[in-house]
């Protein structure tokens, strides 16, 4: 064997050994310890990287959860499933968030709410709100350009023929992105157990509301009267009725309301994922357009 081959092999071999040794030492000295639970928690979350929790991606939330700085219920799309899995992984008691759903608190569609001008700008609610607040006469009502529907990462919102967004409760994860997008704060998250909500956010005086919208709350106070609501759950504050999520005797108020402002949600059949329309018991009030189609 030529000595050249021998020397080459020896030199390279020695270099390889020395560098390998260095790598091994540095690997120990500068090791970044990764909590093995982070991986597990991250995969238990919804894995959508939607950003709803406020962290940059699921992994960042997982790290925060393991470090005790965040809770699994912050992962809205993950829901109870994620909370249960994370609790199991970390050996903690599962704390379930109250399931919520987005509701659209305006029923003033094209046919019932007046326009005050023709809007010619960008078809986007936030932009419209920047220049003279769009075309609708009601200053509180839905602008109807679908910024919320465009922002929903789950496809749970769509614009109907009336120009109002409709929530598909089956798809809604209550992430709240639409709530932040709407320049008029019309969409709200309510507990899924709450069966009734007010389809109007106008705090204008009754006379003004009547001028611009046929289905706006005029704060007439009928729903708050003891005859209609014996439990006294409703009080009128700043021209809108307020009531607790667990308001039980709402049927009469919903029927008596002259503007038909109350929207009764369809109850969710137990044991199934939300939104099984056909089997849903309980009705909607007459003329209610909020009942979503399947």
CA distances from 113 to 106, 109, 125 (A): 10, 6, 17
Of residues 114 and 193, the one with the C-beta less far from another protein: 114
Q: Are 105 and 190 in contact (CB under 8 A)?
A: no
How many residues belong to the site for another protein (CB under 8 A)?
15
Contact call for residue 132 and another protein (CB under 8 A):
yes
The answer to whether the Cα torsion of 28, 31, 35, 41 is positive or negative is negative
Q: Are 234 and 197 in contact (CB under 8 A)?
A: no
Contact call for residue 133 and another protein (CB under 8 A):
yes
What minimum distance in Å lies between the beta carbon of 288 and another protein? 29
Contact call for residue 292 and another protein (CB under 8 A):
no
Tell which one of 131, 185, 211, 230 touches another protein (CB under 8 A): 131
16: burial class by Cβ within 10 Å (0-12, 13-18, 19+)? Answer: exposed
Tell which one of 15, 22, 95, 130 touches another protein (CB under 8 A): 130
Taking only Cα atoms into account, the Rg of the chain, rounded to an integer number of angstroms, comes to 28
What whole-number distance in Å separates Cα of residue 247 and Cα of residue 54? 32
What minimum distance in Å lies between the beta carbon of 4 and another protein? 58
What minimum distance in Å lies between the beta carbon of 206 and another protein? 14
Contacting another protein within 109-128 (CB under 8 A): 116-117, 120-122, 124, 126-127
Q: Show the CA angle centred on residue 188, arms to residues 285 and 99, nearest 5°.
A: 90
What minimum distance in Å lies between the beta carbon of 126 and another protein? 6
What minimum distance in Å lies between the beta carbon of 203 and another protein? 10
Of residues 92 and 208, the one with the C-beta less far from another protein: 208
Question: How is residue 90 written in tokens?
Answer: 């970390």
Residues that bind another protein (CB under 8 A): 116-117, 120-122, 124, 126-127, 130-133, 135, 137, 139
């Amino acid at each position: 064997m030529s000595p050249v081959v021998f020397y080459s092999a020896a030199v390279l071999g020695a270099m390889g050994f020395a560098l390998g040794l260095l790598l091994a030492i540095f690997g120990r000295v500068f090791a970044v310890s990764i909590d093995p639970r982070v991986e597990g928690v991250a995969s238990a979350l919804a894995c959508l990287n939607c950003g709803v929790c406020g962290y940059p991606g699921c992994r960042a939330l997982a790290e925060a959860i393991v470090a005790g700085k965040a809770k699994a219920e912050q992962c809205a799309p993950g829901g109870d499933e994620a909370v249960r899995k994370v609790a199991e992984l970390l050996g903690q008691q599962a704390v379930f968030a109250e399931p919520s759903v987005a509701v659209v608190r305006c029923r003033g569609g094209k046919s019932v709410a007046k326009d005050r001008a023709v809007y010619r700008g960008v078809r986007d609610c936030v932009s419209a709100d920047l220049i003279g607040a769009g075309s609708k006469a009601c200053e509180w009502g839905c602008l109807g350009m679908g910024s919320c529907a465009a922002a929903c990462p789950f496809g749970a919102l769509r614009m109907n023929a009336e120009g109002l967004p409709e929530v598909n409760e089956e798809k809604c994860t209550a992430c709240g992105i639409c709530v932040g997008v709407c320049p008029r704060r019309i969409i709200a998250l309510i507990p899924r157990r709450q069966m009734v909500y007010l389809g109007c956010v106008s705090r204008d005086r009754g006379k003004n509301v009547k001028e611009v919208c046929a289905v706006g709350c005029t704060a007439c106070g009928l729903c708050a009267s003891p005859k209609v609501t014996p439990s006294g759950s409703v009080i009128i504050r700043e021209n809108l009725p307020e009531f607790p999520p667990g308001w039980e005797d709402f049927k009469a108020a919903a029927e008596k309301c002259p503007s038909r402002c109350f929207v009764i949600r369809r109850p969710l059949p137990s044991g199934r994922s939300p939104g099984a329309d056909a089997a849903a018991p309980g009705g909607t009030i007459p003329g209610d357009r909020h009942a979503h189609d399947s």
